Structure 1
Amino acid sequence: MASGTSESLCGVWGSSGSDVFAVGAYGTILHWNGTTWSTMPSGTTVWLDGVWGSSSNDVLAVGDEGTILHWDGTAWGTMASGTNANLYGVWGSSATNVFAVGDSGTYMAGTIRHWNGTNWDGIGSGTFYGIGTLYGVWGNSANDVFAIGDSGTILHWNGSTWSSLSVGVPDVRLEGAWGSAGNDVFVVGVSGTILHWNGTSWSTVSSGTSQSLSAAWGTSSKDVFAVGDGGTILHWNGTAWTGVSGGSSRSLCGAWGSADEDVFAVGDGGTGFHWDGSSWSGMDSGTLNPLFGVWGSSTNNVFAVGGSGTIRHWNGTSWSWMSSGTISTLHGVWGSSANDVFAVGYSGTIRHWNGTSWSGMSSGTSENLSGVWGTSSTEVFAVGAYGCIRYWNGTGWIGMTSGTTSRLSSVWGNTGNDVFAVGSGGRIIHWDGVSWTQMDSGTTEWLHSVWGNSSNDVFAAGEYGTILHWNGISWSSVWSGTTQDLFSGCRISPDEFLVVGKGGVILRSISPACEAELQPYAVVFSGLGGASNLAVSAAPGCLWEAASEASWITVTSGATGSGDGSVGYKVSMNLDPERTGSIRVAGRRFWIGQKTATQTFNDVASGHIFFPFIEAIFAAGITAGCGDDNYCPEGPVTRAQMAVFLLKAKHGPSYVPPEPTGAFTDVPTSHWAARWIEQLAAESITAGCGLAQFCPDNPVTRAQMAVFLLKAKYSSGYAPPAEAGVFADVPIGHWAGPWIERLAAEGITAGCGTGTYCPDNPVTRGQMAVFLSKTFGF
């Protein structure tokens, strides 16, 4: 199913087949209505791990930092949990009897919170020492509840106290539980562990897998599913557990993409997958040999290399065999162009593609080579066993002193003078253009892949789900959410990367140069839209970018920043059903919800040509209409009205000009618009209509409006470029020609039709709304 998100999803619950909630990373909450998944504003960016509800209007989601959210059928709200502990599981017997479990922030201690319908510190709450973190909770009734976690812990609630149950698996982490009755409960955990409770004692059940299992659910005692790492899906038929085909459990060894909607992953047994931006689909690579590396110059020119000298080529339609000229296993592939590709492998093998055929190159080594990367056709690095590094200068391969005997698995660089190589024992070395030096990785795990975005945004991945990040100063560990070995990573867009590994693991995540906190976490706009700002809190030197993820949300300022900053954004009017979008900043999402616009004025229905513009200036506080809940869109705009419109648009809806002094003979100080008219003159936007008069009741012409708008937008001294004769009725030499053509060049007007502008026509109130909205960005 297409979920509409790339974030990790950790929990799911539904009241029916058309009312399902899924929660996950960075405050992600999705809702299934029976047809599609849609994003819900959660109001938080913390990781959410569990979700459960008593009904469609009473749903709870729990997560990091003691977060508990409540859905009342209309919106998600925050609940005071009484703890800062990370919460991983939630279950209840009713709306007034709910348990949430997690860690306690204290070594070898777990926490349980209980909701009694009023608060989260009711009977059954507390910290439990000596048991480790609790990951799951499930019950048969209010007096028969099981909480599970680290070190084989299973706690049981009998309605008054929690007690520990002996299960005989002291070193196993238990993560998921489900039962059909109080005497038929399954608990699943790491290394394929499945336990069964018959009402009296626990017994171990053979799962047939060594993959870690994280969740269980069923419909009856003979229809239970358990899921876990590597795409593992098991089914219990009442007698035995058997595997169910999901995606792929084969290890994936190589990944490459031309864009975030065009990604290839290859692996064991010739496994090939393609990501089209919404889903993964299997590809027939045409070989059963394992594939270890993949690279392409474009979406229609991709090379995959592997065992026994295998090289497969993708032309955009199908994979085909290529004659490599070797039977040596090939582990890495990279090119500077479609006609300059290098493949490296065992016994120092290096093959080169010139656009026509593959040929052998003398590498000068017999060591196994695992990775290859370069900056151009005359600067290529190949790395391998015993610290071997070979360098191609366009003429021949020469040896480099690496300073290590570790096996090097992968190489990547930002430039030719900023190159990273990673390998066994957590080894990371760096080339500065002069020499290779050791770096402190902080790990001893084997690192299989290195890739990056810039000199201060580099990633390495390896054994047991290890992911490290280089920020330009030091390497730090990044939580991957898996314990599977990771073999290859690549950047698929400026701020996203993909990692693949053992058991068919595919991770897709954001690659920020640093972390940032956003305030607020989420907002809801009316259907009229509007503009606001988002505060970004980040460490000094933290570089971040802000990008809209919805066409109706525009970042207006602060698209990039360093350290603390602010992002300005604008939300367009919404005439469609309620919608949700987001702005992504440094790996965080700021959620924006928007309602549907409703009609404000009796005489401007939603189908009116000027409806969005009139509603926009109303929302901005520029106009309240012409009286009796009408706007009078066809009515002319007088020069007095124009003065008010322009100054409110320029200075804001709360702006009030100074008291009038009687600057114009036909505008006494008692005139309703006197202060606005005199301020317009004070700002040199107008000098009046002549002879110390302003002509307040005269209609404003379209030619005059062009001058007024541009002077108000820029300044009284603004002078537009010379006219070129764009409109048939505004000849070169027309007094307002340059102003009219500039207004058109800025997209504020397209004229009045058939290549004309109608400069002497009066401006209607509807047209005025368009002019103001487009000029000032309402």
Structure 2
Amino acid sequence: MDGSAETISRRGFFRGQFGARPETAQGWYSVVGLPAGADDVFWDGWADDSGLFVVGDHGAINHFDGEDWTRMACPAPVPIHALWGTDRSNLWAVGWMGLILHHDGEVWSQMRGCVVDAKGKYASVDENTPLFAICGGPDGQAWAVGDRGMVLRFDGTDWLVEDAGTHAHLRAVICLDDGRVMAAGGDGTVVLRGTGGTWQALDCPVASNFTAALALPDGRVLLAGGRYFIQANGFRGDLVLWDGERFEKQFSDTEFSRFRALGRTNKGVVTLGDAGQIHLIGDNRADRLQSGTGHDLLGLVDLPSGDVMAVGDYGSFLVGDSAALTCFAPAIQPGEDPSNWSEMTSGTDRQLWGMWHDPDQDMLFACGEEGTVLVHDRGQWEALPPAGALGIHDLARAPDGGLLAAGQLGEIHHFDGTRWRMHFDLHMDVTILSMWTDGNGQIFAAGDEGLVLHWAGDSWERMPSGTKSALYGLWGMDAEHLLAVGDFGQIMRWNGTRWDEFNAGTEHFLFDVWGRSLSDIFVVGLSGTIGHFDGSRWHITPARARNDLLALTGTDSDVVAVGAAGAAARYDGQRWHMDPTGTTAGLRAIAVEGTGRYFAAGDGGTILCRDAQ
């Protein structure tokens, strides 16, 4: 060395800095060291020779300086959706509640949005309109777009509102080489800003909800997004090419998951989307790449090393090495991924609503419509006599060792091994949805209209629950520590004396609750909502158009949740992973044996089995 400052190679700065690449990785692998958990959601990133920024929910701004990760201070704790800048001393971020941040090379400062009212709550004003995308040019001018057709332009000094002539939600914006700007969003909305500053609507025949746009050579633009199809029971992706005059849907014969982001590499265009799908688009073909994840991927970032990075749900942060764009997945369609579950013969086509594992006798039961009760015996499912004529939603061990079955009209039936008899009748049109017992004679039941029943040895008594909302799931550590979950994020907590509210910070319906201890509790619910209580506070994973998760349970080593359209997710102690089931039937109940083998039950008598990991 001659004493001069060493020049850091632009291509070498990040290479190998994200931790050791696992031997089993094939192109994409998770970054080591990023301070992220299962409740984190990352939306975008930005990199230069000096480091990398990754942004997401809760005002998360994580910075990597080539050696260490740090969480940077954010003026507002709201989701940050997109980044753009000419350099790190002129870096912009946009997000929820109209948030606009500026980074001057040292700190982030709030420039706009997140206006609060006299009560300290976010005000209902235009400035708080959520923003989702930003782009700009080398002269420092920038455009940000968001809900209800919001378009903002930065003129070098101020952010000014522009009228784009639409009220559609806008989710993508790009600057074209000739000085024009294009924005796109819901229901096929595409608007173009001419060099004179006037916006005009373009006639796009594909009514997709566009989430990404990419400028291509010769003035062309590739748009990506997705639509919900009832017959597919889910979202499907759209790729649409604009050649400067007209729009044309690409790969019409190929089924994609909903697209979230686009990027250009030396091998072609890369797309990211739901269920961990990554595709390489080039030479009139679309090849699916092996991503190694089933989580939704939301943002794509080019690194100075020449590699690429993908970020998304559940703290997903993948870096792609030199093999990332050449390692192809099998040619399978969405929903056809290899399943970790195997289907069992249930002997019924009735809808199944509940499952229960009796730990004392190591027996497994399922229940459902028209009094259906099944028992798993010697590897096969056999039907017990019907428990009445009405639907049964849950089962529990009776104090005398028999079986209790509860369900519609507030009925609880008792099975003595030979026949059923009525154990309790509420005489009300209220359904019991869940039961729990401590195994020592204390039994609780919960259901519609805030119903809570308690058996303490002699009779069933109705308890004041403190809510009129439906309670779908019930779990307890002991008879003095129980949780019940229900409508609009309702969580009620029993302390042995009374029921009190236990706020989790979500308004999504919660359908089930399970825990290992009072400091390790999980809840699941509407649109894939997953929450975890660590003993101090709840961490809620935001829901974004996922299938409802209806039931969960676990062991000391993992947790599994199941739900609508055959959805299943597994938590391995670090992250949640989507768990292909091979079915589109709704899964409404789950149980696990002492060996760690899981069983799930649901629509049309469906019963699945998953071997222990």
Under a length normalisation based on structure 2, what TM-score does the superposition of the two structures give? 0.52
Contact 2:131–2:144, Cα closer than 8 Å, also in 1: no
Q: Which runs of 5+ in 1 are unaligned?
A: 1-14, 23-31, 104-108, 248-277, 282-315, 518-546, 550-583, 588-778
Q: What is the match of residue 96 of structure 1?
A: 89
Q: Cα distance 1:92–1:323, how it changes in 2: closer, same or farther (>3 A)?
A: closer
Q: What is the match of residue 225 of structure 1?
A: 224
Q: What is the match of residue 333 of structure 1?
A: 355
Match of 1:235 among 233, 238, 245: 238
2 CA distance for matches of 1:372 and 1:354?
A: 17
Aligned identity (percent) is 16
- The letter for the 2-side match of 1:344 is C
Q: What is the match of residue 346 of structure 1?
A: 369
Task: Report deviation, 1:67.
Answer: 5.1
Task: Report deviation, 1:146.
Answer: 0.8
| Residues 1:160 and 2:161 are matched in the alignment | no
2 CA distance for matches of 1:37 and 1:432?
A: 49
- The letter for the 2-side match of 1:57 is S
Task: Report deviation, 1:89.
Answer: 2.6
Match of 1:216 among 206, 212, 219: 212
| 3-state DSSP of counterpart to 2:66 | coil
Structure in which a larger fraction of residues adopt strand = 2
Structure in which a larger fraction of residues adopt helix = 1
Contact 2:94–2:144, Cα closer than 8 Å, also in 1: no
| 3-state DSSP of counterpart to 2:370 | helix
Q: What is the match of residue 103 of structure 2?
A: 115
- The letter for the 2-side match of 1:159 is G
Task: Report deviation, 1:391.
Answer: 3.8
2 CA distance for matches of 1:162 and 1:126?
A: 11
2 CA distance for matches of 1:232 and 1:152?
A: 23
| Residues 1:323 and 2:329 are matched in the alignment | no
Q: What is the match of residue 269 of structure 2?
A: none
**Paired positions, count:** 409
Q: Map 1:147-546 to 2 at 5 A.
A: 147-149=145-147, 153-166=150-163, 176-179=171-174, 181=176, 183=180, 185-188=182-185, 195-199=189-193, 200-201=199-200, 216=212, 218=214, 220=216, 222-226=221-225, 232=235, 234-238=237-241, 239-240=248-249, 244-246=255-257, 318-324=342-348, 328-336=350-358, 340-355=363-378, 358-363=382-387, 365-374=388-397, 378-392=401-415, 396-402=420-426, 405-415=429-439, 417-425=441-449, 427-433=450-456, 434-438=459-463, 440=465, 444=469, 447-451=471-475, 466=489, 468=491, 470=493, 472=495, 474-479=500-505, 495=520, 497=522, 499=524, 505=528, 510-515=532-537
Q: Cα distance 1:412–1:115, how it changes in 2: closer, same or farther (>3 A)?
A: same
- The letter for the 2-side match of 1:145 is W
1 CA distance for matches of 2:69 and 2:156?
A: 30
Q: Which runs of 5+ in 2 are unaligned?
A: 1-10, 19-24, 116-122, 194-198, 242-247, 259-291, 296-339, 540-555, 559-572, 576-613
| Residues 1:38 and 2:36 are matched in the alignment | no
- The letter for the 1-side match of 2:102 is H
| 3-state DSSP of counterpart to 1:160 | coil
Contact 1:100–1:114, Cα closer than 8 Å, also in 2: yes
2 CA distance for matches of 1:431 and 1:420?
A: 5
Contact 2:505–2:538, Cα closer than 8 Å, also in 1: no
Match of 1:143 among 141, 156, 172: 141
Contact 1:409–1:423, Cα closer than 8 Å, also in 2: yes
Q: Cα distance 1:76–1:236, how it changes in 2: closer, same or farther (>3 A)?
A: same
Task: Report deviation, 1:158.
Answer: 3.3
For the pair shown, the structure with the greater C-alpha radius of gyration is 1
2 CA distance for matches of 1:215 and 1:321?
A: 42
| 3-state DSSP of counterpart to 1:386 | helix
- The letter for the 1-side match of 2:406 is V
2 CA distance for matches of 1:389 and 1:375?
A: 11
Under a length normalisation based on structure 1, what TM-score does the superposition of the two structures give? 0.42
Task: Report deviation, 1:177.
Answer: 2.8
1 CA distance for matches of 2:452 and 2:206?
A: 42
- The letter for the 2-side match of 1:99 is W
Task: Report deviation, 1:441.
Answer: 6.4
Task: Report deviation, 1:97.
Answer: 1.9
2 CA distance for matches of 1:462 and 1:370?
A: 15
Task: Report deviation, 1:40.
Answer: 1.8
- The letter for the 1-side match of 2:99 is T
Q: Cα distance 1:45–1:411, how it changes in 2: closer, same or farther (>3 A)?
A: closer
Task: Report deviation, 1:422.
Answer: 4.2
Q: Deviations over 1:534-582 (max 9, x none)?
A: xxxxxxxxxxxxx999xxxxxxxxxxxxxxxxxxxxxxxxxxxxxxxxx
| Residues 1:75 and 2:68 are matched in the alignment | yes
Contact 2:187–2:207, Cα closer than 8 Å, also in 1: no
Contact 1:145–1:158, Cα closer than 8 Å, also in 2: no
Contact 1:362–1:397, Cα closer than 8 Å, also in 2: no
